[in-house]
Amino acid sequence: MNARQAGNIIAIASGKGGVGKTWLAITLAHLIARTGRKVLLFDGDIGLANVDVQLGLTPEHDVSEMFYAKATLKDVITNYAPNFDIVAGRSGSGNLATLPEGMLTSLKEQLTQTARNYDFLFIDLGAGVEEHVRTLATIATRCIVVATDEPTSLTDAYAFIKLCATAKLVPAMDVVINQSASLKEGEKTYNSLHKACVNFLKLSLPCLGVIRKDGKVKESIKTQTSLITLAPHCTAATDAATIAIKLMQK
Amino acid sequence: MRLRTFSAPDMNAAMQMIRETLGSEAIIIASTRAASGKGVTVTAAAEQTDGQDTDRLPTLPDASMTQETVLDKIEAMLRFHSTQDHVVSQLLATAKMLALRGSSIRTDMTRLMAASFQYAPLPLDQDSYTLMLVGPPGTGKTMTVAKMASQAVMEKKKPVVITTDNKRAGGVEQLSAFTTILGLPLHIADNRGELWRLLKEHAPHSRILIDTGGVNPYNATDVRELAEYIKLDRSIEPVLVSAAGSDSAEADDMARTFLPMGVRRVLITRIDAARRYGSVLTAAYSGKFAFCHASNSSRIIGEFSTLNPALLTELLLRYQTPQKDIV
């Protein structure tokens, strides 16, 4: 069984930036890796890479070598923790839209290939809803849309969902509400987004979970450590754990 | 989509503002009463839609339109759900006794469901319990244990998770992945002696969740083994986990297998993945089980809905209102 066959290529999107997309991708990947499954996290925000920054890594290799130094995806994988590999981006290297011709197709092919060696592949998509952001979602078997209770986050998440749904880009989409004051508030936020999707798109996206606001998250990002290393039992980690369980349910 | 939040003295005024600003097609996606108690805050959204109908569930003709009497309507509905014959006749007899007036099918069904079945939620909010999840293979026992454990952990309570499912390939592995994520130890009881020891060690002041291997109701050895685990301690409550949408004749047999083991409650899983709930009614009727909870495979907030007559009725009527997400 590999990530492709098992339907475990998971893209994480949000539309709006700063809602905790990268943090969620890292945390879910780390949680699942700790159960002994092989996980690869690909930083899809190639030109504004964040994964390595959040994890305090200085990767020897990054994805830009694939575009400018003829490296393959395998060459630029960095191991972060047991069973947990990452492919870092490089800040300032331009975005997916500016890649040399044919590079994007090759990247997608190599990601799909490499997924065979892993149980889970997480793709942290960039912010925005433009085509070059969505394009990586096309190889995913599932897309998690992250939103917070801010109106801008809701409208941006909605825009992303709408674009993906109309083009039928991914087979399955779920919602995660992040930075919520409480589980109940999170449910309300989800309901707002859900109502808009049901009414306007005739689409019912399940809620995969709510993550409560937790000071430990900020601390983990500031200290450039995975939350699962810093505070594996804090509120946000527990909430993320229930989501990881959902993803592993088969 | 355009999103706007309005504050107004009352709902009518808010509606007025929404219509004026966003047009008559706008929908309300959230509303709250102002903290002061005066006025409301309403969030509305609007969008141009092309009005196309995407893939909805097949809509069946409303039974109330085609049947003449209340009893006929109820029977038609129970038959749609492929409920076993003896259960249908008993429910119809009860319906006659209740002298249902036919004000609305929803009201009548709710009364009938209230009169015909028992409802008893699990003591999940209490400080101590010993729940053993039992049932045939593949109904979602392990996932139910994982969900109950994660619910407890989210409430800052540490449950004791035990599994006796050591035979099935990957039985322990599946649950241990979940407990690892939750930061809980997984206790494996290979035999009755070990389960007894674990119970003595942790009872009586713990929330204990015991996962068991699937029992083939037609295999006497399987059935006897599980019965012996259950009999080990009086504190153990066996809870039957049954998946919605199974065959109702099989559900009947299954209920009769688990009844003598002391099962009193049934938890229904995957209610979102079924539209015919006759097997659920049949199992509860034949086993004289009380309904406790229902779970939905795609939801994590409010993991378990408490099954009550109103919810059961909504499920039975759901085939007529395909867009609604009930649980």
A contacts of B29 (beta carbons < 8 Å): 191-193, 195-196
Going from N- to C-terminal start, the domains of chain B cover: 2-46, 63-118, 129-320
Give A121 to chain B, closest Cα distance, Å: 18
B contacts of A241 (beta carbons < 8 Å): 150, 153, 181-183
A contacts of B47 (beta carbons < 8 Å): 196, 200
Give A25 to chain B, closest Cα distance, Å: 15
**Predicted-complex ipTM score:** 0.74
Residue A200 to residue B302, Cβ atoms within 8 A: no
Q: Which residue of A has its CA nearest to B177?
A: A35
Q: What is the pLDDT of residue B83?
A: 94
Residue B300 to residue A207, Cβ atoms within 8 A: yes
Buried b (16+ CB within 10 A) or exposed e, B165-203: beeeeebbebbbbbbbbbebebbbbeeeeebeebbeebb
- Reported as a single tens digit per residue, the pLDDT across A194-231 is 989 988 888 888 899 999 999 999 999 999 999 999 99
- Give the residue among B81, B102, B103 at the shortest CA–CA distance from B316: B81
B contacts of A206 (beta carbons < 8 Å): 298-299
Percentage of the residues of chain B whose pLDDT score is greater than 70: 88
Residue B54 to residue A246, Cβ atoms within 8 A: no
The two structure tokens encoding residue B39: 């006025």
Q: Does B56 touch chain A (CB under 8 A)?
A: yes
Indicate if the pLDDT at residue B101 is higher than 80: no
Indicate if the pLDDT at residue B87 is higher than 50: yes
Domain B129-320 is classified in which CATH homologous superfamily? P-loop containing nucleotide triphosphate hydrolases (3.40.50.300)
- In chain A the domains, ranked by start, together with CATH numbers, are 9-248 (3.40.50.300)
CA distance B271 to B195: 32
Neighbours of B303 (CB within 10 A): 18
Beta strand B2-8 pairing with B40-46? antiparallel
Q: Does B154 touch chain A (CB under 8 A)?
A: yes
Torsion of CA B135, B141, B145, B146, to 10 degrees: 180
The two structure tokens encoding residue B197: 């020891």
Q: What is the pLDDT of residue B265?
A: 96
Q: Does B182 touch chain A (CB under 8 A)?
A: yes
- Give the residue among B204, B119, B212, B203 at the shortest CA–CA distance from B163: B212
The average pLDDT across B306-318 equals 90
Q: Where are the beta strands (DSSP E) in chain B?
A: 2-8, 27-33, 40-46, 118-119, 129-134, 160-163, 186-188, 207-211, 237-243, 265-269, 290-295, 304-306
Q: Which residue has the higher pLDDT, B13 or B217?
A: B217
A contacts of B305 (beta carbons < 8 Å): none
Q: What's the pTM value of the predicted model, to 2 decimals?
A: 0.69
The average pLDDT across A133-148 equals 91
Give A159 to chain B, closest Cα distance, Å: 7
CA distance B308 to B72: 24
CA distance B162 to A188: 34
